Structure 1
């Protein structure tokens, strides 16, 4: 008898079971590595006397990976909790995390240095397993985890990675630039079957393709494959596993 269960939920369920049984020990070791090795090393190397903001920042970033991050907003959040820390220190901590390959800030795509500085960055973790181990979220956000996975694969190619904001304010998750200045657009969506989701993802890509005069773009999904023809060009919908095996080509 053919199963009518949602394949995305089914796979997510499997991953959750796997996480709770087989991977629990591995995740504990990753959590221990973060606290005992990485954070301790940063504290000693940079002589950080007040470690509370550093640990709060790492916890916050693991719980909001693939999301926009503002130093100013996080500073105000710490201040409201009575935690003392300067904005300059937070900027330094974020740089330290990047130096040890724990988190990677991604800037908006622009030629203006001022716009690059004032716009929030998107922050990604070194791998999705570390997110699972260190996040306080009991139920994983599979969409954000998939986006983080796509980032790690793009980073492996050595391309410059940014996110793109259209003139109408719609976001494209990734825009890459190679050494010759060639651009590629990538949107990440766990599932395109919902009409509103499909419309939103395509709208952002179509706007970006028109603004940048590009004739193709990509949507990376959990397990869907499709070819969408728009007036502005072609959109290739690819399963993450297939795209990851071929993204170097």
Structure 2
């Protein structure tokens, strides 16, 4: 229509088209058009694409709403100085955020949010996995997804899961489950987090802890209906870290040794930049586990930046190493690491 003007092209799910990079390269380099590509596959972020477009591409990962964005959707303007009434409202919103997640449509349509989430999951299963990868045994895939959701934040053994499936009369190989896990990670549904080690072999051989893209999926497919708020909070912390650009098994891991476990270890180059633990409610009963063991691990790893994220409790504890205790909402809104 406008042959003498630059055209802006928008392509969605373009990774489904074979050799699409050739056409995009021509549109951008030879014809000088602006091109936007969107899709539900991590392949759109690959270094190969950036290399083919010779640095002319800019990749952006889109996640469900951050808590700051969630508050904006609710019409809440954040100020560092809060009234008591505003603080109560923030905690109410946070509880809802942790329970039902933060897909924009879910946030706006509260009455139908569970059905919306179920439809999202059906779309992910059938369009992003079954159709894309030509999965034949959909029933096993569904069971695997439910298992990962119910074991979010916990270490998962694929070998044990194969044996479990076998015990209930379902035959599946561990290679198949590893493939399914890769597909779920590729479409941004599950993020399997490995244990930190200075040995690449030990990292690869360690058990993964699955984190889910949005807490809403955990809520509607949590067959135990336990609503373990600590685990919901931990999942939300991981997604926030991922949103900030930390990538699982590249610069974010979990850590475990004979002393105890740390939920998240942040690495920068060859240095451990930060250790983060998540504790919904810090109290006398869990103080030794959440603080004293945390400090011992910090000393062992030579890391002085220890952060303990809670639902609402805030403090600074000075043991041998200072532990900064910060509520999740403040950690999100102030963008503190």
> TM-score, normalized by length of structure 1?
0.86
Matches within 5 A, 1:2-17: 15=96
Partner of 1:223: 312
Matches within 5 A, 1:137-156: 137-156=224-243
Partner of 2:183: 96
1:164 aligned to which of 255, 258, 262:
255
- Max radius of gyration: which structure? 2
Equivalent residue of 1:77, what SS?
A: helix
Segments of structure 2 that go 5 or more residues without pairing to the other structure are 1-87, 101-108
Deviates more, 1:42-51 or 1:90-99: 42-51
**Residue 126 of structure 2 is aligned to residue 40 of structure 1:** yes
Matches within 5 A, 1:226-245: 226-231=315-320, 233-245=321-333
Question: For the residues of structure 1 that align with 2:177 and 2:304, how far apart are their CA atoms?
Answer: 40
Segments of structure 1 that go 5 or more residues without pairing to the other structure are 1-6
Deviation at 1:246, TM superposition (A): 2.5
Partner of 1:61: 148
CA shift digits 1:128-177 (9 cap, x unpaired)? 122112322323110000000000111111122100113x1510000112
Equivalent residue of 1:88, what SS?
A: helix
Contact kept, 8 Å, 1:63 with 1:131, in 2: the verdict is yes
Deviation at 1:204, TM superposition (A): 3.0
Partner of 1:49: 136
Question: For the residues of structure 2 that align with 1:25 and 1:189, how far apart are their CA atoms?
Answer: 31
Partner of 1:197: 286
Aligned length: 233
Question: For the residues of structure 2 that align with 1:50 and 1:199, how far apart are their CA atoms?
Answer: 47
Matches within 5 A, 1:13-32: 15=96, 23=110, 25-32=112-119
Partner of 1:3: none
Contact kept, 8 Å, 1:157 with 1:248, in 2: the verdict is no
Question: For the residues of structure 1 that align with 2:241 and 2:318, how far apart are their CA atoms?
Answer: 24
> TM-score, normalized by length of structure 2?
0.64
Question: For the residues of structure 1 that align with 2:260 and 2:333, how far apart are their CA atoms?
Answer: 29
Question: CA RMSD, aligned part only?
Answer: 2.3
